[in-house]
Every structure is written in C-alpha cells, then in structure tokens.
Amino acid sequence: MWSAIDIYCRLISIRIRAQLQYRISFLLDLVAAAFATATGFGTLALVLQRFDNIAGWTLGEVAFLYGMVETAFGIMDLFFSGFDPDTFGPMVQRGRFDQLLLRPVSITLQVLGSDIALRRLSRITQGIIVLGIALALVNIRWTPAKVAYLPLVLVSLIAFFGGLFIIGSTTTFWTVKRVEAINIFTYGGSEMMAYPMHIYTKWMRHFFTYIIPAIFLNYYPALYFLDKPDPLHMPSFAPFLSPVAGFGMLAAALAFWRFGIRHYTSTGT
C-alpha cells in the first residue's frame, strides 16, 4: 500500500515538473482554460439579465448547480487526467499502453499517474468562485445534516465523472481511435447537469435517470440544499442517492476496465 502511494507520488511529480518547464506557455494555458470555462457561466449570467429566470430557477440557484458540477469535474479532470479518453486513446494507438502492462505495478495506478493536467486548476478555481456566487445570492438554510452532506455530494460527483472517464478510455481498447461520441457522456453529461434537469425532454431525462443516473448526483441534492419542491415526484429519499449513484458508477467503470484489460489485444505498434 505505502509503496503504491510512493510510486504514484513519484509519477505525478515528474508530470508536474514537466509542465512547469515552459512557464509562459503553462501560464497562458491556465489563463485560457480559466477564460474558456468562465465564459460559459458569464454568458448565462448576462443572458439572465434579459430572461430573469430559467424554468423557475434564479441565477443564484443555477449557479449552485453549475458551481458543483464545475468544481467536481475539474477535480476529477485533474486526478483522472491519465484516463482522459483524449490522452488515453493515443496511448493505446501508439502501443505505449503495452509498456505499462509490462511493469510490475498496478496498471490502474500507472494510468492514474501517467498524467496530471495542471491547467485544470483553473476550472476548479472557477467552479469554486461560481459556487461562492451561488452561496452569496441564495440564502441556504443550513442544517448540520446539509453541512455534512455537501462534501459527500461533491466526492460522489467526482467519483461519477471519474467513472465516465474510465468507461470512455476502456472503449478505446476496441475502437483504438478515440470515439468523439464519448463526449456526449462526459462533457455532455456535465453540461446537462449544470442546468435544472426538469427543463429537458422526457426521454433525455429518463436516459440520465435510469441508464446513467446523473440526475441523482446534482439535481436532486440541489433540491434538498435549496429547499425546492420536486416537480418530477420521485420518492423523498431521491436527494440522498448521490453516493450510491456516484460510487456505483465508479465501481461499474472499474469492473468494465478490468474486463477490458483482460480482453486487450495490442495494436502491435
């Protein structure tokens, strides 16, 4: 166990040092990433001046959804960079994954340690800022239960998104080339979860409830934190399913990942 942590830390520290080599480029990357993510929320805030609310949700309430998703996705994206289908795909394509399989260290650990995209720090920062805006605009009636549940929801969201990344990467074992359609679940899923889910058409909502349980990770917990009524009439424990959905997704993804590795045939490069 300790040796695993030690190896992970070493792998990661190499990645960090590598990225800090070109300092100006790194800083620009950071600024660019911050700007790119900030424009999403900025657009919503500007447009809401004209529209006032979105399906009964005020800017502050949507900011809560948005901030939670952005923070969680950013943290996940940082630590699961190695599982980002965008970087993992080429690894399979060029046969670099074969090298990892030869080493006597857990393969999952090695992939986790193969990259840590520091520019994601700006997405995390932006998420936290948006969450701060939400807390300033909305008067949440805090109870001890809510205070305890908030970090749990955040961690569940991270596990959920991490699971999606792992599933996306595992599919490249068969497709070799990264499948752009994976973005529907990762980036599409996170984009979708940044808005109140009752605005979507029924089949879309059902898909993200029963096939991919995204609705329990952000929308339902938000209803609980913001004391809003449930327009979809789910059972009253629905807001508390986020850890089950989040860690369930991660566990399913890891099982799929192990299945993928057992059936992995190299590209031969």
The span of 44-52, 120-128, 131-139, 251-259 binding another protein (CB under 8 A) equals 44-52
The span of 67-75, 99-107, 156-164, 175-183 binding another protein (CB under 8 A) equals 175-183
Judged by beta carbon, residue 7 or residue 179, the one nearer another protein is: 179
Least distance in Å: CB of 43 to another protein?
4
Residue 57 zone, left/alpha/beta (φ > 0; ψ -120 to 50; rest): beta
From the CB of residue 167, how many other CB atoms can be counted at a distance below 10 Å?
23
Extract the tokens encoding 219: 């929308």
Least distance in Å: CB of 196 to another protein?
8
Least distance in Å: CB of 109 to another protein?
28
When asked if residue 33 is in the footprint of another protein (CB under 8 A), the reply is yes
227 Cβ contact list (under 8 Å, min separation 6): 140, 141
Judged by beta carbon, residue 146 or residue 198, the one nearer another protein is: 198
Distance CA 228, CA 197 (A): 13
The span of 86-94, 134-142, 152-160, 189-197 binding another protein (CB under 8 A) equals 189-197
Judged by beta carbon, residue 14 or residue 145, the one nearer another protein is: 14
Least distance in Å: CB of 200 to another protein?
5
Three-class SS of 53-88: CECCECHHHHHHHHHHHHHHHHHHHHHCHHHCHHHH
Pick from 264, 63, 62: which is nearest to 176 by CA? 264
In sequence order, what are the beta bridge partners of 57?
54
CB 117 within 8 A of CB 26: no
**Which residues in this chain contact another protein in the complex, by CB under 8 A?**
22, 24-33, 35-36, 39-40, 42-43, 46-47, 49-51, 53-55, 177, 179-181, 183-184, 188, 191-192, 195-196, 199-201, 204
